[in-house]
Every structure is written in structure tokens, then in C-alpha cells.
Structure 1
Amino acid sequence: MARTGAAVVAGALALTLTACGGDDDKDGDGGGGGGKKTSGSVELPKLDGQKLEVAAVWTGPEQKNFTKVLDEFEKRTGAQVSFVPTGNNTSTFLGTKIEGGAPPDVAFLPQVGVLHQFADKGWLKPLGSEAQAQLDKNFSQGWKDLGAYKGKQYGTYVKAANKSLVWYNTDAFEAAGITDTPKTWKDFVATAQTLSDAGSPAVSVGGADGWTLTDWFENIYLSQAGPEKYDQLAAHKIKWTDPSVKDALTTLAGLWGKDELLAGGRSGALRTEFPKSVTQTFSGDSPAAMVYEGDFVTANINADTKAKVGTDAKVFPFPAVGDQAPVVSGGDVAVALKDGKGAQALLTFLSSTDAAEIWAAQGGFISPNKEMDPATYKDGVTRDIAKALLAAGDDFRFDMSDQAPAAFGGTQGVGEWKDLQDFLRNPKDVAGAQKKLEADAAKAYKSS
């Protein structure tokens, strides 16, 4: 997308997030109701007695919310669907299952790079005509393209993420006398210092999960280096030793290098998994003030804290490091790993507005499905985030690590995840981090 496109999206986000900062349902259309009625609008075959298996990375509240979608599919078709969590190493888990002759029927891949790898190996089944019809009806070309490879449509991105959001504890901001949310990176670090001086752990970082650290880097890099450089680094057309990477890591070190600004310090951040990074911002005796991550944070706030989204927990766009605030998107693509009517029927349902609206009503979810009723979103904050994403059309940048081979951008304990954890441990060693990132990237891209 052109820089102007990024600016339009960032502006839309800023406006909608500001507008929904207070009452999270002031438009009166409720958390999960109102609007058009689409129940039963997608035709599904009878699958009485068939047993299907679905695999995805989700655990806790995210898994529970998705189960509501599977329950409706079972009700309509008579099939029995079991859910299998993959763990963070999705590609390794699924690869082992496939090579062992026992793949799940349907899987959600969190990295587009994994879709390409699996398609190259012949492990994916193309979308059937019914699923394709739902995809064509409900999704823009940009999202369709992400689920395609070498001219064949393999998957549908039914779950999207806006990964350019910072969530904050309104009590902590009020106690520190902060009335305006930061718009620039300089202001963000200054706000963190003010919060710390007032006695709040300023920023909660889920460093035990390396993927959260890649998201920090990507937002800074996109804003500071710009979309063209972002695309080049995502494709490894420039090296991680490039000066633009040095600039981004140096910027990131301006926060990570200040131990007092991180909840628990760097060592505490490295022991904190993503769900805890959220809950320790909105619960406990000394909650943190801010946590960075995507819209899906609301699932953890709603399930594991007493905070109310839009009142106790508010959100602002990731601050601008360069000329424009960044807009990074992610998502999970549903694919079939087995032939058969059951797998294709589930993909058809997942691609429908029916499934999207059931999922949206649970919270912690946004959809790129442009035909679904936005009134079904559980809260106004999420609804406005989703509207801004749709307003972007095809003008978005997809998560960089998710575009990389899994060995570099999508595996716990190795590659970019591990290298950025090491950088969080020692933010002074920018050159060393660049060297390790480039060595791991070169190896992964060469073998992919």
C-alpha cells in the first residue's frame, strides 16, 4: 500500500478509537444483537455421525469463543467436531500429524508463509465450490489473495487482527494525571515515564511468547522505515543488517532498555506469557498501565478480569515513530488437510456471515467478512476497530513474521522469536541482534 493509504487507515483508526473511548455501546445497538437476521442463510449438508477434527493455536478464552461457532455447525449438520490446540509451533505440530497419516480435517494457520510451505508440499486441499462461493461473496480481493497460492484458493481468512493497538488502564492514567493519549513514540516513552514516576508499572510486555516481540518490531519498522522497506524486509530482499533495521531496534531499545518502565523489568517481561501481560494490566494489587497487542486482547479482558472494555480498559493507535502511525494486520487462515464433504462444509460455514456473527458476539474477535452485521460485535470498541479495518479495503500491511518461513518467523525458541527475546534481554546489543536475525533469516529463506 502507498504511504497515503497507510495514512488514511491510521487516520480512520485514530478517529474511531477516540470516538469510542467512553461509553462502549452508546449507539444503542447492543452487544450481540440488532441489525439483519442471517441465521441459517448458508446451506450446509447433513453430516450425521461424521467426526471432524479442527486444529488451531487458540487456548483459554479464544478457544472457548471459537467453540461456540463449532457448536452451531454441529447443530446444523449433525457432525461431531473436536478441537485440538496446536501450541505455538503450529507448523511443526501439523507437519508431524500429516506425515504420521493423521492430520486434522481443518486447521487454522497463523502464518501465510506456512500456507505457502504446506501448499508446496501438497498437504492442502483446494477450496470446494460452495466454500469458494461464500469467499467470493463475503471477502475483498486482498483477503482472498492471502489465502491463495500459485493460482489456487486454499484457504479463507475468517479471523483478522488489528495489531496496531495499545490498551491502557484508565485508573492508572487518571492517577498519574494523564489526560491525553500519546500520538508519537517520543510521547509514548514520556507517558510511560510519567506513569512509572507515579508508581504504576508502565508497560506490560508478554516476552515469554516471542511472537509478541515481533509485533512490537513490525509496528516500529513500518512507521519508521515505511511500506516499501517493510515489503522488502518481509521478502528478505534486504538484509536484517540493513541500516533501517538498526534504526528500528535502536528505537525499540529506547523503551526496552529502561528496565523501570517494564512491568517486572526485562527479566519479568521474559517470564510473562501473552495472557498474563493482559491480565496484569487490568487486575491485581498493582496493575500495569499499558499493554500493546491486537484487538483480541478484549477476549482476555472480558474473561479474566473485571475491567469493562471502553470504560476501565481503553485503547489508542500504536504511536507514530515516523511520519505515519503504523497499521499492521494479521489473521488466521482456515484450510482443509483432508478430502471429504465434512471438511469442505466446515470451510463453507466458516466463510459465511453466520459463523462470523456468532464469533463476533463472543468478543475478542474481528472479521474481514465485509457482509457481516457489525451490530453483532460484543462492544463498541471492537466494533469500531473492525469498521476501520474494513474501511482500509485492501490497503493494509500483513504481519511480517507471518509472511516468513515458519523456521524464522513462526516457531517458539528459534529464529526471530528467539532473537528478539535475546534482544529484550540485552537491548544494548543492536549489532549483535541484527547479525543473529540475518543469519537465521538467510538460513530459513534458503531452505524454504
Structure 2
Amino acid sequence: MPLDYPIHERTLPNGLRVVVSPDHTVPTATVNIWVGVGSRHEEVGHTGFAHLFEHLMFQGSRQVGNGEHFALLHAEGARLNATTWFDRTNYFETVPTGALELALWLEADRHGHLLDAVTQESLDTQRDVVKEEKRQRYDNQPYGNALTDVYAAVFPEGHPYHHPTIGSMEDLDAASLEDVHDFFRRFYAPDNTVLTVCGDVEPDEAFALVEKHFGDLGGRAEGVREVLPQVPPLDGPVRVERREAVPNDRLHVGFRLPVDGTDELLAASMALDCLAGLASSRLVRRLVRREQTAVGAHAAAWGFVDGVSLGFVVVDVAPGADAEAVEAAICEELVRLASDGPTDAELEASIAQSERSWLGALAGQEERADLLSRYALLRGDPHVVNTHLDRLRAVTAEGVAEAAGRWLAPEHRAVVAYLVREDAREEAVA
């Protein structure tokens, strides 16, 4: 039976795209806003700005004091947060239905009038907060900078996905107040934004409330370029090696993949499932269970829109095992998958896992709102939430083998190897 979540759409005269999906099962509503600005929109020398604004957006606006956004909504029993990624920044809150208008008023004030409150003091404060976040999440965590190394190895210098979302602390230190204001004015505009309301509300009521609070917001996004053409696979292996005080050797094997929304990306994602994305995947069976040269393996495919996506396999090498031999085994399995294709059981398991994950996400009001915003902003079609599984089920074993051969061949890999530093290994033994 096909999915049939109700989806209503409207675009305001100022360009704001509004999506409403009524769901009266519980008396709550989720407001989910995706702004078309992420780290891929940043320029060389000005990285980290998109993530910085995720923090600044909670520090007050024209009619809201510092910290009041959280305080007012928490007083209503709300749950709220924000995140930044390569292709977007999102803001979201789930509130009792009676607090929906409060949530929309707060969002409209900061999305339309944030700069009234972005002073040198607030900029300096949030710069320090971001620096501390980087120290905690990246610099002082084992393997904390591994994905940053993967991005730099897989994507060419100057490409929008070459640098991480956290950005450069040197760039943030050099940013002036005017630099920050200019960035907001360029990207935070109604015509670069999708607002989704999902929950216990009628469409006409939700549209009227959004129009009331967002309808008079002006401004147009500036300099939002067309996406880049598809980037081909790497033309030869790339290797980055780090020796650090990590618990065990870990291999990150990255690949360029087709852009999001393509059938070929779905096929490549299933190929990665067969390799290491399932409990019964090939690398788990071979390296973890049979040869016991690894203690864990997983894989993922991240769909991006700006000319390329990212796929990667991560393998934790077992103590005493040879990381080079493990890498060679990974390459053997890549070749074998492209040559033989997935078995019927592997294809069925991959589809089943993807279906379970998709349906689980849609079952939650917050996750459904997020997916509606995602596909409205990045694909121009929120109805993808109802049609995605049909495309997933149409992927064939032949398609998976072809995608593996084209995108996941060993010669197209970028390996980021985090290896135990010898003095750290000796300390662990002692």
C-alpha cells in the first residue's frame, strides 16, 4: 500500500515556501524551518559562518531578548533545537498546539530581524562557544577530525564540500561584524527558506498563521548560485595517514557518489549496505566474524546536492592485526561486489533495512516535518516522503553491481588511516 501522508503547499508573495501536513493523533505541532545555507555556501577564507548563525539565532532578535527564545518555549513544554549541515541550516520546535502561534512569532522575529541583536559582544561570545565546541567534539575526541580529513581527501580543493561545517577557527577570528551581517543578509531571506508545520492543525489555519507572522518579511537571497555539475570519481587512490593516541587502528575509505535524488545514488547506497551497512554484510562476515582482523565495520552514503555525494566505509582494525591487510581485504570485496553483484538475500536485507528506517522516521512527527522541509528545499518536492520507497524497491541487483563498479572501485578510493602511535601502544601494553 503506497504512503499517503497529507501534504499541502503554498508560496507566499515574498517567496517563503510553506508546507503543512496535518496529523491529529497528538495535540502538538512541529515547526521546522530549513534555510538554504550551509557550509557549502561559504567562501574560502570565510568558513564556519553558517554554523555560527545557528548559535547567534538563539541570542535574541528585534523583540526577543537574549535567551528568551528557549525560555518562552520551554515554559510551554516545547522541545527545540537547530543544526547545521553542508546544504542547509534548520531550526525546529515541537509545541503544544496552543503554543503554535508563539513559536511562529518567535521564528519570524529572528528570521526577519536577527541583526538588531547581533552586536560585537554577541559575536565574540558565540565565537568562543564555537571554539569550545570544536575542542570538545573534534580536537579532544579520538578520531575527532577523521571525517574532516575524509572531506578534504575525497573532494577537491575549493569544492564546496572540501571543508567541514564547523569551519576554520582562523576564519571566524578574522570575521568582522560587517562580514557576519553581510552573510545573514545574503542567505536568510524568505525566498531561500522552507517552513513546515506538521501536527495538530488544519491547513488553512496554519497557512493563515504563517502569513500573519512571516508575510511582511522582505529581502531576497543574494548570490545563491546554481549547483555544480556532477564530479567524477577520483582518478586514482588517495591516502592520508595519521598516527595518534587512538584506541585502535581505524580505516576510513571514502568515495565520491552521484548527487542526491538519483537512482544511481540509491544503488550505490545499497552497494555500501552489502559491504558494511548491515549486520550480515560482507566485511562484517569476513573481517569481524571469520578472520577476526576487525572488531567492527559500518558504511554510509550521504546524499548531497552540489555536484557530488559522499560514501564511506569505516573499519576498526583488531589489536595485533595488520591494517594494510585489512585494507587489501576491503578492496577485494569491492571488486567482488562489482563483479558478482549482490545476492538476492543481500538486496532484500538492504531494502528491508532502508524501509524500516524510512518508515520509522516518518512515524515521528518531528522527523516527518524535517523530511518534508528537506525535500521541499533541496528537491523542490515534499511529496518525496510518499514516493521514495517506490523508487527504492525498483533498484535491481544489476543496478547495484553497476554502481559499485563505477563509483566504489578500489582505484577511486580515498583512505584516511588513523593508526595507533607507537608510544601510545606501548603505554597501553604497560
TM-score by length of 2: 0.23
TM-score where L is the length of structure 1:
0.22
Q: Larger % of strand: which?
A: 2
Larger Rg: 2
